[in-house]
Structure 1
Amino acid sequence: MAPKVLISDKLSPAAVQIFKDRGIEVDFQPDLGKDKDKLAEIIGQYDGLAIRSATKVTEKILENATNLKVIGRAGIGTDNVDKEAASKKGVIVMNTPFGNMITTAEHAIAMMFAVARQIPEASASTQAGKWEKSKFMGSELTGKTLGVIGAGNIGGIVCDRARGLKMKVIAYDPFLGEEKADKMGVEKIEDLDELLKRADFITLHVPLTDQTRNILGKENLAKTKKGVRIINCARGGLVDEEALAELLKSGHVAGAGFDVFSKEPATENPLFGLPNVVCTPHLGAATTEAQENVALQVAEQMSDYLLTGAVQNALNMPSVTAEEAKVMGPWIKLAGHLGAFIGQMTDEPIKAINILYDGVAAEMNLDALNCATVAGIMKSVNPEVNMVSAPVIAKERGIKISTTNQDKTGTFDGYIKLTIATETRERSIAGTVFSDGKPRFIQIKGINIDAEIGSHMIYTTNEDVPGIIGTLGKTLGESGVNIANFTLGRKQAGGEAIALLYVDAELPDAVAAKLKDTGLFRQVRPLAFDVA
C-alpha cells in the first residue's frame, strides 16, 4: 500500500508532483493548517505531514496521528512543531535548512545597505514630494568591520558576500575552527566582547537556544562600539529589543535592521517608529526561488524516508543517506535483533547500555545503529517504540548509553556487541552480517555460536550433560513444534551451555513448561523477532 501524505499549508505544485511521481498518495489541502480541530480529526489517515509555518503540530494533534511517521517543514524554523511530543510518538521531524540559505543571507546584506543609507526613510520622504538630500547622510560599507555572530551555513554566506564588498569580517562562533576561518577569509574571535568592541556592523545568524537567547542583551549592547548598526535576520529573542530601542534613541547605536521579532506577528514593538530602524515582516526566506527550493526539498526528503528509510535533515533522529540506508539496512536489522534479544531476556530495570562496534561496523553511522539497538530493547516493553522515540524513553528512564569503537579484532570483518547492566547482573550478545546480507548471532554470554535469526526462537541454558539435544528434539517433536535451525554452544566441557533454536511457530506455554519439568534446563525462554 502506497504511503499517504497530507500537505496542510501552501506548497508549490511542483512539490505535490514530486510526491505523485514517487508513487506517494497526496492530499493537498493548503488551508487546512489553520483549522486545528479538522487537522486533529483527519491526521490519523496519513503517514506524512508536509507543512510550512501556518500549521501548528501540537501534542493534541500528535495524539491522533496514529499512522504518522514523518513531519516535513518546508523551511528552517520548526517552532510550530512540538518536537518533544513528536519524538515520544516516534515521528521524525525534518526541516530544509539549505533551501533558503542564500535568500536569507542576501536579505541580511540588503538590510545592511538599507540601514547604512537610510533607504526606506529616504524613499518615503522623496515620494512625499520632499527633497531632503542633506538629511540622509549615509555610511559606506567598504572598509568597515562586520561582526558576524554565528558563521554556519547562512552566516558563512554573509561572510563571503561581505568580503566581496571589501568589508573586514570578524566572526564569533564556538564551532568555527581556525582552518575553516582561514579558508573563509575571516578573523575568528574567541571572545564575544572583542567583537562587540570592534564591529561597525553586527549581524546575527544563530538559532534561538537557552545559550543564545538575548545574546545581545542590555549588558552586551552597552559594550558595542558607538555608532554600530545591528542586523537581525535570524530569530526573534536574540536581541533585547527594549534595551536596543533606548540605545537607538540615545544615538549610541546608529541604526538597526530587523526581520524577526521576539513576538510574531509583530503588530507593536519598541523598535517601531524609530527613524533609524528598518523593519520587515520575516521576509528572510521570502523569495520565489527559496520557496520553490524548500518545497521541492521537503518533498524529496519525505519521499526518500517513506520509500527507502533514508533520513535527511531530521531534528530528532540521526540522518541516514539513501546510500547508507542500502549498506546499513542489514546492520540496522542486526542492531534491532540484538536489542530485542536483550529486551526479552531482561526482566529487571536496565541501568546502562554499552554498544561495541568492531571493524566495518565501527565505520558506519553509529548514531543510527545506536537508535536501532535501543529501540530493539525498548520494544519488548512497548511495541510502539521506534528509532525516534527509543532514545527519548531511555533518557527519561535514566539509562546511561555508551559506545566503544575498535578496529577489526577477529574472524569477522565486523560485528556489534551489546552489553547491558542491571542492578544485579550484566548480559551480553554479539552479532554480525554475513556476505548474503543476513544478520547472525555469534556470541551469547561469552559463548561462541552461529545462529540464524528467525521470527520464532527458543533460548535455553543448561549444564553441559548428555541428553540435551535428544530431550529438546523429542519434546518439541511430540508437541508438533518443527525445528528449522539448531545452534549449540558451551564455555567448556561439563560447564555452562546454551541452545538457540529457530522454530516454525510460537512455542506454546505448555511445551515450555514440559521442557522445564525435565529438570535439565535452567532457562527456557521463547523469543520473537521481526525479520520482515
Structure 2
Amino acid sequence: MASPATMLVLCLRTTTMSAVKIVVAESIADAGLELLAAYAQVDLATEADHEELTRRLREADALVVRSATQVDARMIGASPKLRVIGRAGIGVDNIDLEAATRAGVLVVNAPQANTVSAAEHTMALLLAQARNIAQADAALRNGSWDRKRFRGVEVHGKTLGIIGLGNIGTLVAKRAAAFGMRLIGYDPYVLPARASRVGVELCADLAGLCAEADFITVHLPRTRETEGLIGADLFALMQDGVRIVNTSRGGIVDEEALADAVRSGKVAGAALDVYSSEPLRDSPLFELPQVVLTPHLGASTREAQDRAATDVAEAVVAALNGELVLSAVNVDLGQDISDEVRRFLAVAEHLGKVFVALAGGLPRVLTIRAEGRLGEYAIRPLRLGVLKGVLAGSSDAPVSYVNAPAMAADRGVSVEEESSDEARGYQSVFRVSGVVAGRTISVAGTVGRGPLIAGILGFALELPLANHLLIIRNEDIPGMIGRVGTLLGELDINIADMVLGRSQDHPGIALMALSVDRSMSDAELDGLRAMEGVGEAVEVELDLH
C-alpha cells in the first residue's frame, strides 16, 4: 500500500494547476515528498527506465535522484526546462556535472544529511575489524567457541590517520578522540589552526601520514585526482600491521592492491563500505577474513534518510525560487561561507538589478566592495549574486548562478573585489560600481531589519527594497516632492515609501527614491521624465519573495 505522502503526491499530480513540475526518479522519505508536493506538481517516476525518465523530463523544471539514476548529458540536453537536479545524499558521481553546468542547470545535494550516520558507521567498522566482531559472530553461529583465534587490538593510544577533514572526517576525529586515539590528518584545503581545534595534527603529505598511522580512515570525494589514490605505492609506505577503513566513495582504495597488502600481512585488517563497482558481486576481498565488508550502509539510518529527503527538497525549492543554494555542487562558492555573507546574498543580487537599470548597459569592469564586518570575509557568493542580478536585468536569456560567470565573460564583463574594515554609519555595507558610457554608476546596500538600499549614485539615503522602485534625480528646488506626488496620484499609483538624498559632490541636485505599489507604463514614465526639474527617472523591478 502506498504511503500517505505518496498518495498525496499522486493526488496532486492529477489535480494541481502548478506550472512547475518536479520529477522524482527514486524513492525518498515521505517528509521530502510532502515538501515538494506543497510547492509544485510532483511526477513520481521511480519505476521508469532511462528512456521513459528522459521522456518525462521534457517538461520538467527539476529532477530529484539518489545514487542509482545515471543523469547523463543526453538526458540533460533533452530537458529544455530543467533548472535544478537534486541529489538526496552527498555523492554526485551519477550526475554529469559538466553537462549540467553547460546547460545552466544547478546541481544541489544534501551534504549534511548523512554526516553523523557516516561518522558513526566509520567508527563501527573501525572497531569491528580491530576486534574481529563479524568473524567471531559468524564462527559462534557455526558452533565454534574460539576466543584465542579472534584476539584483537585496542584503539586506545593508537594513531589514527584521517585523510580528508571535511564534515565527516571532522566528526570521526571527535569520536576517535573520545576513544583516546592520537589524531593526525592530511587535507591540503584545511589550515593547521582549524585542524587543531578538533585535536588533529596536520601532516605535510600523505607519505608522512602513512608512516605514522596505526589506523587510516578515508573521507574524500571521488575525483580524477583521488581515484585509486590508496594503492600499492601508498601501502608500501605504511607501517606493517596498519588497518584501513573507507566509508567515503568507492574507487579511492584500490581493492586489488588492498587484497595483496592483506595477504602479505602489510595490512592487518580492513573495513570497506564502498566499492569501485556497486553492487559488489565478486571481489578478491571476499576470501579474506581480515576484511569487514558492508553494502554501502553509511547513510542507511532512518534519521539520515529523512534529512537527505527534506534537505534536498528544500534546496530544490529554493533553487526554483531563484535563490543561491549554498549546497550547490557546480557553483564555486569558495570555502566556509560566513553568516555575515549569507545575510547579504539577496542584497547583492538586487543591487545588481538596480545598477544595470541605472546604467542602461554593462560595464567592462564591475567593482564590488565589502565594508565593515562584511569586509572580513571572502565574498565570492556575493560576486555571483551581483552578476546574476546585472545579467538578468540586461538579458532576455535565462540567468542562473551556474551560468552567470560564463555569460559575464562572454559579454566582456570582469569583476574586481575590494574590502575595508570600516563602514561609515553601518556594521556592514556592500557596494557595486562601474563605468558605463563614460558615467560612473554606484549603488550600496546593507541589512537592517531587512535588506536596504544605503546609497545611489553617491547620494546617501536608506530605502527598504521593494518590488517596484522609482529613482528620480532632480533639481534641488522647492515643490519637486509635491509635483512628483501629484503626478503619481493622478496615475493612481500609491507611494509606499519615499526617501530623499543630497550629495556634496552634486550641488543643486537631489535624489528621490520611492517604492510604489505597481509598475509604470512606458508612457507614464515618459510623462514623469518630461516634468520640469526632473533630470532622470528610472524604474527598477525586483522580484522579492
CA distance in 2, matches of 1:154, 1:530: 39
Query: TM-score, normalised to structure 1's length?
Result: 0.74
CA distance in 2, matches of 1:435, 1:176: 33
Opposite residue 160 of structure 2, the aligned amino acid is: L
Deviation for aligned residue 1:305: 5.3
Could you give the per-residue CA deviations for residues 420-473 of structure 1, whole angstroms, max 9, x where no partner exists?
Answer: 589x989643344798978769555x899999999899999xxx9xxxxxxxxx
Task: After superposing the two structures, state which structure 1 stretch, 334-343 or 213-222, moved more.
Answer: 334-343
CA distance in 2, matches of 1:138, 1:411: 65
Alignment gaps of 5+ in structure 2: 1-16, 476-492, 531-535
Show the counterpart of 2:288.
274
Show the counterpart of 1:16.
33
Work out whether residues 343 and 377 of structure 1, in 8 Å CA contact, stay in contact via their aligned partners in 2: no
Identity rate of aligned residues, in percent?
32
Work out whether residues 330 and 439 of structure 1, in 8 Å CA contact, stay in contact via their aligned partners in 2: no
Show the counterpart of 1:146.
160
| 1:77 counterpart (78, 81, 91) | 91
Deviation for aligned residue 1:260: 1.4
Change (3 A) 1:324 1:93: farther
Opposite residue 389 of structure 2, the aligned amino acid is: G
Change (3 A) 1:105 1:328: closer
Find out whether 1:257 has 2:266 as its counterpart: no
SS in 2 for 1:55: coil
Show the counterpart of 2:384.
371
Deviation for aligned residue 1:203: 0.8
After TM superposition, list the pairs within 5 Å mapping 1:111-126 onto structure 2: 111-126=125-140
Could you give the per-residue CA deviations for residues 113-143 of structure 1, whole angstroms, max 9, x where no partner exists?
Answer: 3322334344444444556655444333333
Opposite residue 402 of structure 1, the aligned amino acid is: E
Could you give the per-residue CA deviations for residues 216-274 of structure 1, whole angstroms, max 9, x where no partner exists?
Answer: 23322211001111111111232233332322222212222111122333334454433
Find out whether 1:35 has 2:49 as its counterpart: yes
Find out whether 1:335 has 2:348 as its counterpart: no
Change (3 A) 1:134 1:155: same
Show the counterpart of 2:312.
298
Show the counterpart of 2:262.
248
CA distance in 1, matches of 2:289, 2:427: 69
SS in 1 for 2:287: coil
CA distance in 2, matches of 1:67, 1:131: 63
Could you give the per-residue CA deviations for residues 324-381 of structure 1, whole angstroms, max 9, x where no partner exists?
Answer: 89964762453222453488424xxx76432123458758994443222212333434
Work out whether residues 7 and 26 of structure 1, in 8 Å CA contact, stay in contact via their aligned partners in 2: no
After TM superposition, list the pairs within 5 Å mapping 1:5-404 onto structure 2: 5-20=22-37, 23-27=38-42, 29=44, 31-32=46-47, 34-129=48-143, 134-303=148-317, 306=320, 309=323, 311-317=325-331, 318=333, 328=344, 331-338=347-354, 340-341=356-357, 344-346=360-362, 352-358=365-371, 362=375, 366-379=379-392, 380-394=394-408, 400-404=414-418
Deviation for aligned residue 1:202: 0.8
How many residues in Structure 1 have an aligned counterpart in Structure 2?
Answer: 505
Opposite residue 23 of structure 2, the aligned amino acid is: L
Opposite residue 260 of structure 1, the aligned amino acid is: V
Change (3 A) 1:324 1:270: same
Could you give the per-residue CA deviations for residues 60-91 of structure 1, whole angstroms, max 9, x where no partner exists?
Answer: 33334444443332211122223333344443
CA distance in 2, matches of 1:331, 1:201: 48
Opposite residue 432 of structure 2, the aligned amino acid is: L
Work out whether residues 334 and 439 of structure 1, in 8 Å CA contact, stay in contact via their aligned partners in 2: no
Work out whether residues 270 and 292 of structure 2, in 8 Å CA contact, stay in contact via their aligned partners in 1: yes
Work out whether residues 210 and 238 of structure 2, in 8 Å CA contact, stay in contact via their aligned partners in 1: yes
CA distance in 1, matches of 2:418, 2:43: 46
Alignment gaps of 5+ in structure 1: 465-481, 516-523
Query: TM-score, normalised to structure 2's length?
Result: 0.72
Work out whether residues 350 and 389 of structure 2, in 8 Å CA contact, stay in contact via their aligned partners in 1: no
Change (3 A) 1:86 1:221: same
Work out whether residues 342 and 427 of structure 1, in 8 Å CA contact, stay in contact via their aligned partners in 2: no
Show the counterpart of 2:10.
none
